[in-house]
Amino acid sequence: MYASATFSVVAFACLAVTLLFEQQAVIIPENQHTLGNTGSRQETSASSPLREFWHNGSRNNTGFVAFGDSYSAGIGTGVDGKEDDCRQGIHAHAQLIAADRGPTAFQFLSCTGATTANVMAGGENSQIDSFNASLPADFALLSVGGNDLGFFDVMNACVFRFYNFYSGTCEAAIAHSRANLESDEFEIRLRIVIMEILDKIRWEKKPRFTITMTGYARFFNELTDGCDDMSFGIWWYGPKLTKKLRSDMNALVLTVNAKLHKTINAINADFTEDKVLFVDYDNAFEGHRFCEPNVTEPDYGRADTWFFLVGGQDNARNGTQSRRLSDIKTLSPTSPLVDPSSCLEPARRTGDWGMLALCYMAIAKHHDPTLRFAHENIVVDLSSRWYVPTYYGKTFHPRSLGHETIRDQIYKKWRALDG
């Protein structure tokens, strides 16, 4: 429906992305990275044949909009210039799709920490309210749900324990997530988000407009033995990555994907043509999760792992990395983000995993100054500096090669529709 592309076109497109990112100033103007930014891309470069080829491959290639959470914002995948509060990254799959499409009105509204409430009209920092429906949009991308369902709490309680003893038990965090998932409320909220997007673009006037929603991927290979004795815990004596832990967390992700899919099917049933496509890219991450065979976790050197570790580097293809990575920078200990007496309320309000992790660590350290970090890379001299939130918040999010795969899975779905 969107891209009458063949496999070879995608191969060309990958190359085109590589070429385009080498001229970063053209593709990622700095001012594109603020919440609610509605500017359209300018035609600034001479058209390349590859770019034109891709452009021609899509019909009425006018624009699109991306809504959602940090998985959509592409946290950690590099910034060109200053990072915004939404932690949008230059290799977010939405950005890669925008680059493939050439100059097009792209509204990148996705924001780290966003829940359905932050996408919905009338909500705090509402993405739908920021969406300028006067600009051309042929489709929307959407990734949301993980923050509604408490993914951070699960990751914190089961894996990292930023908050040390106060992190709660893994079982309770997973049970809480499952209860949220099984409640009707989540389904209702997701339905509202989707209907509000469709209403805002006035789908009856744009019958071809559709929403492409992505799910999540399982984090672990749950079968390997070696990982049973390893830990990602922040502090000494962190939880082990046992098979049970890995399979419980994986099962939760699969349940989330199934729920998203089911809700989308129910919405589509109300229309004569499908309005929402669900892209489940989980299988494409096979072999690229944590705890793969012969990997000693945390393995900071393995580019084939498509999720970030705490403070881990991105795995963008050589030549496509951002020139200025901001998440290595540090905060002063007087930053409000690490003030144990006051950081929690604002961190909870934004839902930003990095702000939550930082604040939890600051409180834990305040309660017990003798606490020691488990891994060398986490160590900062806490008396003089902390890493910025993205350093922690990108954890368990897709790295650049993961986003390339998500993009390709989206294209695959679109091609299948084209028949």
Ligand X SMILES: *[C@@H]1O[C@H](CO)[C@@H](O)[C@H](O)[C@H]1NC(C)=O
Q: Give the residues lining the site for ligand X (CB under 6 A).
A: 38, 49, 52-53, 56, 59-60, 132, 134-135, 208, 293-294, 303, 315, 317-318
177 close to 153: Cβ distance less than 8 angstroms = yes
In the complex, minimum distance from the CB of residue 59 to ligand X, in angstroms, rounded to a whole number: 4
Tell me which residue has tokens 């946290």: 75
In the complex, minimum distance from the CB of residue 175 to ligand X, in angstroms, rounded to a whole number: 34
Within 10 angstroms of residue 305's Cβ, the number of other Cβ atoms is 26
123 burial (CB, 10 Å; 0-12 / 13-18 / 19+) is middle
C-beta closer to ligand X: residue 52 or 368: 52
C-beta closer to ligand X: residue 147 or 315: 315
C-beta closer to ligand X: residue 399 or 413: 399
How far is residue 389's CA from residue 268's CA, in Å, rounded to a whole number? 38
C-beta closer to ligand X: residue 58 or 350: 58
Among 399, 188, 158, CA closest to 300? 399
Quick one: angle between helices 7-22 and 49-57, nearest 10? Answer: 130
C-beta closer to ligand X: residue 284 or 303: 303
Quick one: angle between helices 7-22 and 400-418, nearest 10? Answer: 140
For 253-285, give one letter per residue: b (16+ CB within 10 A) or e.
Answer: beebbebbeebbeebbeeeeebbbbbbbbbebb
Helix (H, G, I), strand (E, B) or coil at 358: helix
In the complex, minimum distance from the CB of residue 78 to ligand X, in angstroms, rounded to a whole number: 13
Beta bridge partner(s), residue 143: 68
C-beta closer to ligand X: residue 53 or 180: 53
In the complex, minimum distance from the CB of residue 379 to ligand X, in angstroms, rounded to a whole number: 25
In the complex, minimum distance from the CB of residue 56 to ligand X, in angstroms, rounded to a whole number: 4
C-beta closer to ligand X: residue 38 or 95: 38
In the complex, minimum distance from the CB of residue 137 to ligand X, in angstroms, rounded to a whole number: 11
C-beta closer to ligand X: residue 148 or 292: 292
In the complex, minimum distance from the CB of residue 300 to ligand X, in angstroms, rounded to a whole number: 13
Q: Tokens at residue 4, please?
A: 């009458």
In the complex, minimum distance from the CB of residue 224 to ligand X, in angstroms, rounded to a whole number: 9
- CA 370 → CA 102, 160, 163, distances in Å? 54, 18, 14
Q: Which amino acid appears at position 27 of this protein?
A: I
